[in-house]
Structure 1
Amino acid sequence: MLEFAKLYPFGLDEYQLNGCHELAEGRGVLVAAPTGAGKTVVGEFAVYLAVEQHRKCFYTTPIKALSNQKYHDLVERYGPERVGLLTGDVSVNSEAQIVVMTTEVLRNMIYAGSPTLGNLGFVVMDEVHYLADRFRGPVWEEVILGLAESVQIVALSATVSNVEDFGDWLRAVRGEFSVVVSERRPVPLFQHVLVGRKLIDLFEGVAPTAQEMPAERAAKVNKELLRVSKGEATRVRDDARRPRGRSGRGKQHHGQGSGQYGDAAHGRFKTRPTSRGEVAVVLDRAELLPAICFIFSRVGCDAAVRQVYEAGITLTNRAEAALLGDIADRHVLGLSQADLAALKFEDFRDALMAGVAAHHAGQLPAFKAIVEEGFSTGALKLVFATETLALGINMPARTVVIEKLVKYNGESHVDITPGEYTQLTGRAGRRGIDVEGHAVVLWQSGMDPRAVAGLASRRTYPLRSSFAPTYNMAVNLMATLGRDRARELLNQSFAQFQTDKSVVTASRVGRQLQADLAAASEAVECHLGDFMEYARLRDEVSRLEAETSKARKAQRQESLGRSLTELMAGDIVFVPRQGWSVVLNVGQKTHRGGEPWAQIISGDHTVLKLQPYDLREPLKPVGRVRVPRDFSVRDRRDRRSLLSAMSNKLDQVDPEVPDTEEVTDESVAREIKALRAELTAHPCHQCPDRELHAVEAARVIRLEREARRTEEQVTGRANSLAVQFDRVLAVLEDLGYLDGDELTDAGRMLRRIYNELDLVAAECVRRDVFAGLTPPQLAAVLSTLLYESRPTRGAIPPRMPDPASERAQSELRAIWREVGQLERAHKRDRGREPDIGFAEAAWRWASGQELSKVLATSDMSAGDFVRWVRQVVDLAGQLATAVGPGDLRRTCHQVADSMRRGVVAADLTED
């Protein structure tokens, strides 16, 4: 271990040494530490041990960008001949002693029984808290459960609040497993709020912002920030009270005050948002660069770079600018001038050389690699990034800025959580470079400093499993383990482990309920007879009366509403408390559940708008009179004429006044009457303490119901994943992928398809939906199985590029609906809907069109375009492997070959 420690320019922390020691002793290890604390050292020790012991080590990451970065790091240490890379679309030295790969690749190897797994001694699972991710998380659990017992696992996680639970599960399924936790940051972090152009410490004093995060109650908020908040609130109240002038805005104050917070006229703070250019200048003057500024919007990141650059702000010296220019040029050597022009490379390069850049998923991989390398040199000073940068990319900074504490989650704007805040600010403070890191939150109108302090002082990031059986998982487990062992394996998952803990809790509640029930039952004893028998008769009467009343009310409301919708203008109806009336108008409200209504005029000239809750019985017309088109309820003569016509009509038909008394269901009424007679005849009915006993008996009945509910809860949760697995198998059996416990040819094909709509894709192959399509047409149709549109307003609806792809996609959608109906029948959640939003772009690119034309017609960023193209290529490759020799396999290979060009093929190891 001493030799290994010499590889680092800093002394190893105690938790790092503990983790390495546990690994050297032959145990698996879970390391949970703050972002930037250096937990990867333990993972790198696993690589070191594998080399020393002449065994293999796989280093897995959740995303390709992390795999690529780790590959380059390990190549630098061990040389290219010893290190390989596997990321789905990249395969470099795959049989090397050390292989870096995405977790999906390892999962696929395990299911395929790949010979590459031979002599595997260690697997490092970096960013293992990804198993909470809804889409990619289940893969982690498949790997942990599927690896041979002889393999030592190193699980590296951000600090999570339920780390011991996760450790307990790992011990349960992997044997000896140690948990090493560190809450200590290697570089102290100081928290600030930028108000206007002034940096203010978040906490009082310096001590609470040292390496250990302060407890929430121990963290005292800076009084200056509280004064800013109070002053802003006072200004808002005063503005609301101020008399309005003709303009409606009241008097305007133009004094600039001190300028630290913006306006401070008349002692009232009037803070204004700090511009992005001002943020750059303030950080530069305070010597807090390099910095990462998190903006939860790709468009916002790009706009921020333009704003800073166009403001004429330069953060680099001449040497740094030249270095950044060289880095940029080197990374785009494989791209044509036409592609560079389409990507607006010169604009990107100019801003980069001024020390400013963006980093987000919508960028071209080569551009992201430029930003990452430029930032690592210290020459790039300010990066505007989305939160995806916080997910493991090694880009530490001196300072992290969070522009807003609210982000859009795809459905609504929500506050960021303490866990997310910790993850973002964890980038601040470069070990071995900075003596301290800084986190800066920009002041926003209405901000509460105490809420910011709460985010900065809490660590609440629970790890929740997202594991659930899929069709592909099911056929692979059936092929390798069989039904019974597969069910056992699923019941060993972290998801079931967490469920079982809730089952244990529910069981504990159930035991307490039984004890309470026994005690309560003793208090119900009556010397005249079985009082619980008497109490249950009373309870049944109450239940029947309540249910009857509820059902009657629901039925009445439905019939009342229906009677209103069936009325027409001119109908004569009897309205309780109003008498005979004429319907003037009918309609449906657009709010409050859309209740129907009818406007009527009664014999005393009263005009009312009736709704269902105004009635006791349905309105039944007994006749009709004509309501003139120009009738006006305000005109006395119109009213008299209409009501006179109603009177004449009533004289003709001579209707009976409807009986509005409520009618009770006769059978239920008879049952209630019989029960009441039985109650009266029961011996306990004469007990002088009857009502005292009844109180205790009611408690017994309530406890019995709670006990039943708890028991049902336990039964429903236990083996819940195995139940889901059985439902998956039922769907597969109905569609012919399983014959009993054996896989059919279709089932063996499905084993090779890893897609959220895997079963739909397999059914399309079986039904020849893809047959006869050209490579561009197939690319377009395959894209609908994996693409997910980002919500946009006013966008032109997408379409399939030609009639052939349109027909194929229509057949695909019909299969999706058919599979969905089968899933619903077996109580399975339906797979997401196919999305044609990328079809035309995929077709154009596979047809050989230039990048500039494809991007112009798709309205998509270059990074998104490349990512989705590579996913189409990956799916085409899976199908080529799955379907066997033939025309479809050739077409799939042609899809991959035609799309793997230009920006898609360039610098694949940088994605």
Structure 2
Amino acid sequence: MPGFADQYLAAKARQEHLKTPLGRFESSLDFRLDDFQQEACQALQDGHGVLVAAPTGAGKTVVGEFAVFLARTQGTKAFYTTPIKALSNQKYRDLAALHGAENVGLLTGDISINPEAPITVMTTEVLRNMLYAQSDTLDRLGYVVMDEVHYLADRFRGAVWEEVIIHLPDSVSIVSLSATISNAEEFGQWLDTVRGSTRVVVSEHRPVPLWQHVLVGSHLYDLFSDDTTISRAADIVRREGADSLAVNPDLLRATSRRGYGRGKRGPRGSHRPGPSRIRRAPRPVVLREMDGAGLLPAIYFIFSRAACDDAVSQCIDYDLRLTDQRQAQLIRAYIAEATAGVELKDLRVLGFDEWREGLTRGIASHHAGMLPLFKEIVEHLFSEGLVKVVFATETLSLGINMPARSVVLEKLAKFNGEQHVDISPGEYTQLTGRAGRRGIDVEGHAVVLWNEGMDAKSIAGLASRRTYPLYSSFKPTYNMSVNLLSQFGAERTRSILESSFAQFQADRSVVSLAGKIRRQEKALAGYERSMTCHLGDYVEYAELKYALNQLEKKTSRDRKLANRSAAEESLQLLLPGDVVDVPWGKSPGPAVVVAKPELGVSVRVSVVTMSAHLRHVTARDFSGEVEPVSRARVPKHFTGRTPQERRDMSSRVRDALAEQRPPREVSTPRQRTFGTVDRDRDEIQRLRGLVESHPCHGCSEREDHARWFHRWTKLRRETDALRRQVDSRTNTIAQRFEQILRLLEEYGYIRRTTAGAPELAPIGEPLRKLYGERDLLIAQALNAGYFQGLDSAALCAAMTPLIYTGKRDETPFLRTYPADLGGRVGELHGLWSDLTSAERRHRLPETPVPDVGLMWPLYRWARGDSLARSLEGSGLVAGDFVRATKQAIDALDQLGHATGDPHLRAGAEAAIRLIKRGVVVHELDSADPAAYADESGAADAWGGGPWARDGAPPAAEETDDDDRPAGEDPVEEDEDAR
């Protein structure tokens, strides 16, 4: 036992510790710090920066809160940055509760609350913009907390994190909070290089143990101890069907109405399972089993928006209820208060009734297509324990505080925008990390639903793997380049870019690449010996054959391209009444043009065929120039909407062809020369002669030599690529900066001083204040007068092609444009075409094509139309529309600050006021749901309860779930959501 002296010294040490900031901070908590929290806080108190990498739910944010406490103690400022606005809003509320609302501010681009407060929560983009603007708000800044710092791997916005880390003053201490990553030491070394002394604190311990399960049929099995049992159960289901594991047939019929778990179609549209396939238990069955096992509340991940909404409908159809009467009353009352400011007609278009019905049963969906207000209500009711299950897409795993006892994964694959791919171990850990609520649950549970083709051991490997490296996505952009050049000059900018984490990782990888090149060079020498031909130089022979093959392919491509170009140009010259012969497509044969050609990404022409069908033809339907073969009269007000109109029109075509009416003379679009094709044809003949006369052409072992040559060629190509990687990874970020400077100089944004140094020209100044994927295109449009002379509603519509990216393979065609903007859109497309040509010349990524899919919806909204009317015919869902509208507000605000024209600035401000209304700005009132029930708990219908007496809640600031461009969610949903 320790003696009295030891006890005295320990007590004295505790007393001394309580006098330190960390001691006072600990004494204010109602729990003890874990070892990793203690270590990180101590390093921060000692004056070091810290990187904390720990699992979701481990309590990393305590370290960030200690940084805020230190700032308060030292009389300096603390900024708390997050990747998404929803997380910023949540952290603002948490810190305001701890330190008082008067001491906490919030900045998220469209929200500004108490911006000069000593504690300010903001999105990382806001801090980046402050640094470039050298804002006075940065004065006395002592600490910056970068929550979810692993977000710097995001390919769209990750570079912002590195910009902030590089540009923050040396006097600022950075607290970086990250999910578990395998290369934390590497990231910490880079932070130590650019920021000075940085301590790396890694913890893989979960405060709440996580149990991994597999659900086969309706039976739950432990993943790590029942591999044989899981496989045996799967065999039973495969052999005898899902009913063999106690799945209710009546339930299968009920849920099949919503299309879930359908097998092959039987007679008369009935559904029956395939004989050898495993059918997952229907979602209501899964929840019923989990509820019985005490595993709720749960987050049920489905990688599809539509499937999330479908799941709620299935549960309602099955009459699944997870709440009691009192909870349902509280939910109804809270929903009524929270949505009191939304118009009834908008609620109808949002599917309010079914959404509310699901919530009162304790069931909800959560995805980026939902109205932000609805998502916030779901989040709040879930955190209060009133909602028991949320069907969610992966966006819910990105930092929003919605912990659950269990997490369900319906599939282990997702659609990434191009194809279905397996989720990574890092994604699996991020998703299942939501299971287990610290201080509430003794353990958390992750449940994977068994699907055909699964293997229990592979699932276990996915669940147990702990290698999730963090890779930089940092690349200079146009906006970043002009800001850096303006502030620091070219030389200092190059050194800043070379200090990025991207360059740090690239330099470290060169050593291993060089070793691989040496090994492959030895193998190449062996291949060369094996393909040696005694008759001649086989490499020379093979290269002649390759050149011949490539030239033949090129000639074929050139011919097709010339024909396509000729068809495109001649289609533009057609007029209503021209009869053309369509060689192939849906309705080949004669057809009459009934409307002027529509110009867009490609030319599209409306025609009526001989079979009286209204079709659209493009250059793909023709093999070359399109020439009219006759003429037919098209009535002035012809629409083609009725069968009779189309029949009359096809009859006119027959008459015109029978009478052999002469076609209208059409001038040739341009004179084409085929000299290049002729020269290629001559070169093909020459190469063919060289191949046939080469000595190796008659070698009896020519096929063996060809196989070795193929291997040699493939390995040489790989080796050359490795050499290029080594070359490109040396100063690669600075090289990209130089390419951008050359392009901007070509456009006049950059000029040279008398000493030859690049500097920003006056025409380039607006680009400094324009952020986004199409930043340079917006600057070009501004300089070209694209926005001039528009009223406020038209200005909103004109902005949309520059900020919107829809979930479609190509830009949609519009027959008409709002406010006669068609001509301007054509000019904008020309600017984009010129820009992408320049980007290809300078080997830079191409700017995304302008997308007109939001023009009509936002124009209608700006003109005061309802949500239903605004979305009519657009294919947009409410959540995407609200998010895109907020991006338009942000872009219009940038435009107002970037332009030097006071009229355009005033127009942008007026445009913002037009669209900043209704569901776009309506936000959740975050009070306790229990406060909305009257004494009798009788708030059981929308429109009743205390809100009917006290009126609507006070107006709240607007929010959004994500700064990401519309259509670029962190997870692209399945095809049924598109």
Is TM (by shorter chain) over 0.5?
yes
In the alignment, what sits opposite 2:230? 225
- The equivalent of 1:547 in structure 2 is 543
Partner Cα distance (1:886, 1:790) in 2: 36
Number of the residue aligned with 1:782: 799
* Higher mean displacement: 763-772 or 323-332: 323-332
CA change 1:88–1:800 in 2 (3 A) is farther
Q: Tell me the secondary structure at the aligned position of residue 352 of structure 1.
A: helix
Change in 2 beyond 3 A, CA 1:137/1:547: same
1:852 offset after TM fit, Å?
A: 2.5
Contact kept? 1:122, 1:153, Cα under 8 Å: yes
Aligned ranges for residues 650-669 of structure 1 at < 5 Å?
664-665=689-690
Secondary structure of the structure 1 residue equivalent to 2:802: coil
**For residues 255 and 666 of structure 1, do their structure 2 counterparts lie closer, same or farther at Cα, with a shift above 3 Å needed?**
closer
Q: Does 1:36 align with 2:52?
A: no
Distance 2:94 2:533 in 1: 77
Does 1:396 find its partner at 2:403? yes
Which of residues 743, 746, 750 is equivalent to 2:763? Answer: 746
Corresponding letter in the other structure for 1:868: A
Tell me, yes or no, if structure 1 residue 725 matches structure 2 residue 746: no
Asked whether 1:840 is paired with 2:856, we answer yes
Alignment check: 8 A CA contact 1:61 1:101 kept: yes
Residue by residue over 1:656-676, the C-alpha shift from the partner in whole angstroms, topping out at 9 and shown as x without a partner, is: xxxx99975499979x9xxxx
Contact between 1:472 and 1:754, CA under 8 Å: does it hold in 2? yes
Q: Is it true that 1:145 corresponds to 2:166 in the alignment?
A: yes
1:85 counterpart SS class: strand
Q: What is the distance in 1 between the residues matched to 2:161 and 2:713?
A: 46
After superposition, residues 375-774 of structure 1 pair within 5 angstroms as: 375-508=382-515, 541-551=537-547, 664-665=689-690, 713-740=725-752, 741-774=758-791
Show the counterpart of 1:621.
none
Number of the residue aligned with 2:381:
374
Find the aligned partners of 2:781 and 2:352 in 1 and give their Cα distance: 41
Decide whether the 8 Å contact of 1:364 with 1:862 is kept in 2. Answer: yes
Deviation at 1:144, TM superposition (A): 0.7
Cα shift at 1:500: 0.8
Partner of 1:610: none
The residue number in structure 2 matching 1:568 is none
8 Å Cα contact 1:198/1:260 also seen in 2: no
Within the candidate set 798, 822, 827, 1:806 is matched to 822
Q: Deviations over 1:221-279 (max 9, x none)?
A: 5321021234456x3xxxxxxxxxxxxxxxxx89954626989xxxx997532111112
1:199 Cα offset (Å): 1.2
Question: What per-residue deviation string (whole Å, max 9, x for no partner) do you get for residues 865-910 of structure 1?
Answer: 1111010010000000000242211111111110111111222454
Quick one: higher RCO (CA 8 Å, sep 6+), 1 or 2? Answer: 2
Q: Give 1:800 shift.
A: 5.5
Q: Deviations over 1:89-118 (max 9, x none)?
A: 111001110111111101100000001011
Q: Please tell me whether the aligned partners of residues 52 and 177 of structure 2 are also in contact (alpha carbons under 8 angstroms).
A: yes
Match of 2:256 in 1: none
Once residues 82 and 705 of structure 1 are traced to their aligned partners in structure 2, the CA distance between those partners, rounded to angstroms, is 61
Does the Cα contact within 8 Å between 1:799 and 1:839 map onto a contact in 2?
A: no
In structure 2, the residue corresponding to 1:459 is in which secondary structure? coil
Counterpart selection for 1:77 from 98, 112, 116 = 98
Q: Report the alpha carbon displacement of residue 121 of structure 1 after superposing the two structures with TM.
A: 0.6
- Say which of 92, 110, 118 aligns to 2:113: 92
Are 2:313 and 1:306 aligned? yes
Aligned to 2:32: 11
Quote the offset at 1:555 in angstroms. 6.1
Structure 1 match to 2:147:
126
> What's the % identity of the aligned pairs?
48
Gaps of 5+ in 1: 205-220, 236-252, 524-531, 564-586, 589-659, 673-699
1:291–1:400 Cα contact (<8 Å) kept:
yes
Specify the alignment match of 1:24 in structure 2.
45
Q: Which moved more, 1:326-335 or 1:803-812?
A: 326-335
- 1:546 Cα deviation after fit: 3.3
Which deviations, in whole Å up to 9, do the C-alpha atoms of 1:400-442 show, x marking residues without a partner? 1111112111111111111111111000000000000011111
- Deviations 1:553-607, CA, capped at 9 Å, x for gaps: 66689999999xxxxxxxxxxxxxxxxxxxxxxx99xxxxxxxxxxxxxxxxxxx
**Counterpart Cα distance in 1 of 2:805 and 2:189:** 37
Larger Rg computed on CA atoms: 1
Identify the range of structure 1 (461-470 vs 270-279) with the bigger mean alpha-carbon deviation.
270-279
The change in CA–CA distance for 1:258 and 1:778 in structure 2 (over 3 A counts) is closer
CA contact 2:749–2:764 (8 Å) conserved in 1: yes
Q: Secondary structure at the match of 1:375?
A: helix
CA distance in structure 1 between the partners assigned to 2:132 and 2:686 by the alignment: 71
Whichever residue aligns with residue 224 of structure 2, its letter is: F
Counterpart CA distance in 1 for 2:713 and 2:146 is 52
Which residue type is aligned with residue 223 of structure 2? L
Counterpart of 2:94, as a letter, is: D
Could you say what secondary structure the match of 1:791 adopts?
coil
Q: 1:663 to 1:351 in 2, by over 3 A?
A: closer
In structure 1, what is the equivalent of residue 261 of structure 2? none
Q: Check whether the contact 2:800–2:854 (CA below 8 A) recurs between aligned residues.
A: yes
8 Å Cα contact 1:799-1:836 kept in structure 2: no
Q: Does 1:158 align with 2:179?
A: yes
Kindly state the Cα deviation for residue 724 of structure 1 after the two structures are TM-superposed.
0.7
Conserved? CA contact 1:399–1:438, under 8 Å:
yes
C-alpha deviation, 1:347, in angstroms: 2.9
**Matched positions, count:** 738
Which structure 2 residues correspond to residues 853-864 of structure 1 after superposition, within 5 A? 853-864=869-880
How far is the alpha carbon of 1:372 from its aligned partner? 1.1
Compute the TM-score of the two structures, normalised by the length of structure 1. Answer: 0.75
List aligned pairs for 1:224-303, cutoff 5 A: 224-231=229-236, 235=239, 257=244, 259=246, 271-303=278-310
Shift of 1:472: 0.4
Residue 444 of structure 1: how far off its partner (Å): 1.8
Decide whether aligned partners of structure 1 residues 708 and 796 sit closer, same or farther in structure 2, where only a CA change above 3 A counts: closer
Aligned partner of 1:361 among 347, 361, 368: 368
Does structure 1 residue 348 correspond to structure 2 residue 330?
no
Structure 2: which 5+ runs fail to align? 1-21, 253-274, 560-582, 585-684, 697-711, 753-757, 924-956, 961-978
Closer, same or farther: CA 810–24 of 1 in aligned 2, 3 Å: same
The alignment yields a C-alpha RMSD, in angstroms, of: 3.6
Distance 1:354 1:667, change over 3 A: closer
Among candidates 845, 863, 866, match of residue 829 of structure 1: 845
Taking a change above 3 Å as real, the CA distance of residues 661 and 667 of structure 1, as seen in their structure-2 partners, is closer
Counterpart CA distance in 1 for 2:241 and 2:131 is 70
Q: Residue 191 of structure 1: SS of its match in structure 2? A: strand
2:952 equivalent in structure 1: none
Instruction: Determine if contact 2:77/2:140 at 8 Å carries over to the other structure.
Output: yes
Q: CA deviation at 1:713?
A: 4.1
1:857 deviates by 3.8
Alpha-carbon separation, structure 2, partners of 1:136 and 1:478: 21
Q: Aligned partners of 2:694, 2:863: CA distance in 1, in Å?
A: 76
- Matches of 1:255 and 1:498, distance apart in 2: 50
Q: Distance in 2 between matches of 1:345 and 1:561?
A: 54
Does the CA-based 8 Å contact 1:196-1:261 persist in structure 2?
A: no
